[in-house]
Amino acid sequence: MEGFLLPMPEELGPRLLIAGLLITIVILLYLLYRSKHPAKRREKQKRNYLPRYSQFIPSRQGECYDILSSWSTDKTSHEMIIHNLNPNANEAKMIINKTPKGWLMRMYNWSGNLLYENNKITTHELANKFFEIRQPPPIYQPPTNEKPVKTYTIEIK
């Protein structure tokens, strides 16, 4: 059995002890940091680094124009995908690509087929289409149950 054990130099023991203590201190400091900075705060900080156009929800025509204008100046983003809120519309998704020659807009239906493509479109026309797609239908309501609701008679004396 003694043949399997290697002799240990005298100075290796204290070095291992110091290394173990340093690793333990680093882990404790990391756990302390995590307890003071929960994940929700880190997600909020990430959201603050998003581009300006993705930080607000459009409610008016001009805001849609601002989103597209701000997005067009972002050097890192070249494609924007907008999903339709109206389930009754023919168009399901609009994809806008930035090209050196201008905008390229593609409209897709609900099954994913290309409906049409427009490569000569202005920012104002894109904003109009963007606003149209992001508007919920005016009287869309979920379908009601076919079964009648059971009622109870209340007698007040």
Confidence of residue 28 (pLDDT cuts 50, 70, 90): very high
- Residue 20 — very low, low, confident or very high, per pLDDT cuts 50/70/90? very high
- pTM exceeding the 0.85 threshold for the entire prediction: no
Question: What pLDDT score was predicted for residue 61?
Answer: 66
Distance separating alpha carbons of residues 62 and 85, to the nearest angstrom: 19
Residues 32-80 have pLDDT tens digits of 888 887 766 656 666 566 676 677 676 666 777 778 777 777 777 788 8
What are the C-alpha distances in Å from 155 to residues 123, 149, 150, 151, 152?
Answer: 64, 19, 17, 13, 10
Check pLDDT > 60 for residue 3. no
Q: Do 86 and 70 form a contact (C-beta atoms < 8 A)?
A: no
Q: Which helix (H) or strand (E) holds 114?
A: strand 114-118
Nearest Cα residue to 121 out of 96, 157, 100, 148 = 96
> Which pLDDT score is estimated for 88?
80
88-103 confidence digits (pLDDT tens): 888 888 888 888 888 8
Write the pLDDT tens digit of every residue in 107-140: 999 888 999 898 888 888 888 888 888 777 666 5
Instruction: Tell me the average pLDDT of the chain.
Output: 77
